[in-house]
Amino acid sequence: MNFWANGMPAGMLLRSPREASTISDPRSAFTLEAYEAASGTKPAKRVAWETFVAYGKWFQKQLDCNLDQRSVSEVRRNGSGFKLTLADGAVIGSRRVVVAAGIGPFRNTPDVFSNLSPKSASHCYEGRKLCELGKRVAVIGAGQSALESAAILHETGTDAEVIARIQTLRWIGMHKRLHQLGPISKALYSKHDVGPIGISRLVAYPNVMYHVPMGLKDRIRTRAVRSAGAPWLMPRLRDVKISTGRTVVLANEVDGEVRLLLDDDTERRVDHVLMATGYRVNIAKYRFLAPELVREVRQLDGYPDVTAGFATSVPGLHFIGATAARKFGPLMYFVTGTEFASRELASWIRRNRN
């Protein structure tokens, strides 16, 4: 929950529908609805990130598990097991390590912005207060994060502009009639709401996705999570400048502001560049993993090459969440994927205890 609690800007709403925003537990007892009933929170059609964070903390308390909140400084091999060094210097030995460390370290910073100072450029989920970025902000990207950030900036009085490479913005859920056909709709779309018609149903079965040839699987994964915004953002963006089909080719700091040169030779002068440029999985960016351990893990362009039970080529080492999406499909990027991930991992460990 740290990523959600400290990374999201105020005012952000979950794009996923309510049904796909519940964290999995074995008895389905700790649902979002159960939290709302227990806490007296009024259900909302679109869940605010603050509500989701509170729900996550409540969920953890219901489990009554031994949660050690010390940070892990290093994980390395130790014979047939692992040695974990914690931030306070304590050392723990374990036969098995499951890495579920989220996507925070994988923020994608395009090279053109790499020379800008933190004052002049940031990623949209760094926990910065959007109202403090300046009077003029360029938002880079065309997905939900970019569009919602631009809407929030505009609503706080900031002169925001969205700059996107794609020619036309995409919107999800635009075929409402297909979602209102009862049993037919259920056959076309899964409850997880990941991907368009047909693909949504396929990616709902990660064990099936696992056996899809890698080339086709990559195309399905890319299509399912391509940049798009929720339609409820449209009216909020009505007065926001949006430049599509454009890329920034040069960015530098001049006289206390940022100068952006676009590929059509037009120029922008802004106070801040807000990058909503997504994430690129690369397990080497998990600083707590010893470099030699990372080198032992068979990889696919930065993703661990996981097999059944999310096991890697290093015995006893598992990766779940977004890092497993290259093999098990895009459901692994989302909260709604916790149902499959938890059952698959627990089942594998039960079968391989010895």
Residues 271 and 257: beta-carbon distance below 8 Å: yes
Residues 35 and 55: beta-carbon distance below 8 Å: yes
Residue 213 tokens read as: 């040839």
pLDDT confidence bin for 183, thresholds 50/70/90: low
Beta bridge partners of 248: 262
pLDDT confidence bin for 11, thresholds 50/70/90: confident
Residue 291 sits at the vertex; the CA angle it makes with 290 and 296, to the nearest 5 degrees, is 100
Q: What is the pLDDT of residues 57-112, one digit of tens each?
A: 999 999 888 889 899 999 999 999 999 999 999 999 999 999 999 999 999 999 99
Question: For the chain, what is the radius of gyration of the CA atoms?
Answer: 21
Residues 90 and 97: beta-carbon distance below 8 Å: no
Residues 217 and 209: beta-carbon distance below 8 Å: yes
Sheet strands side by side (includes 241-243): 121-123, 272-275, 136-140, 159-163, 241-243
212: left (phi over 0), alpha (psi -120 to 50) or beta: beta
Residues 252/256/262/266 CA torsion (nearest 10 deg): -140
How far apart (Å, rounded) are the C-alpha atoms in residues 219 and 213? 10
Q: Residue 1: what pLDDT?
A: 77
Residues 338 and 1: beta-carbon distance below 8 Å: no
Q: Residue 10: what pLDDT?
A: 84
How far apart (Å, rounded) are the C-alpha atoms in residues 150 and 153? 5
Q: What percentage of the chain exceeds 90 in pLDDT? A: 77
Q: Residue 185: what pLDDT?
A: 56
- The residue-averaged pLDDT of 184-204 equals 73
The closest of 206, 212, 180 to 192, measured between CA atoms, is 206
Instruction: Kindly list the distances between the CA atom of residue 273 and the CA atoms of 15, 157, 197, in Å, as whole numbers in the listed order.
Output: 23, 16, 35
Q: Residue 296: what pLDDT?
A: 97
Q: Is the pLDDT of residue 181 over 90?
A: no
Q: What percentage of the chain exceeds 70 in pLDDT? A: 95
Instruction: Kindly list the distances between the CA atom of residue 205 and the CA atoms of 32, 179, 262, in Å, as whole numbers in the listed order.
Output: 23, 20, 42
How far apart (Å, rounded) are the C-alpha atoms in residues 75 and 93? 10
Among all chains, which residue has been given the structure tokens 């010895």?
Answer: 354
Question: To the nearest whole number, what is the mean pLDDT of the chain?
Answer: 92
Show the domains of the chain with their CATH numbers.
2-63 (no CATH), 72-105+280-351 (3.50.50.60), 108-170+228-275 (3.50.50.60)
Residues 203 and 331: beta-carbon distance below 8 Å: yes
Enter the DSSP assignment of 315.
T
Q: Which helix (H) or strand (E) holds 269?
A: strand 267-270
Residues 269/112/220/144 CA torsion (nearest 10 deg): -30
Q: What is the pLDDT of residues 249-299, one digit of tens each?
A: 999 999 999 999 999 999 999 999 999 999 999 999 999 999 999 999 999
Q: Residue 174: what pLDDT?
A: 57
Residue 196 tokens read as: 């368009």
Residues 261 and 112: beta-carbon distance below 8 Å: no
**Predicted TM-score of the model (pTM):** 0.90
Interhelix angle 32-39/49-63, nearest 10 degrees: 90
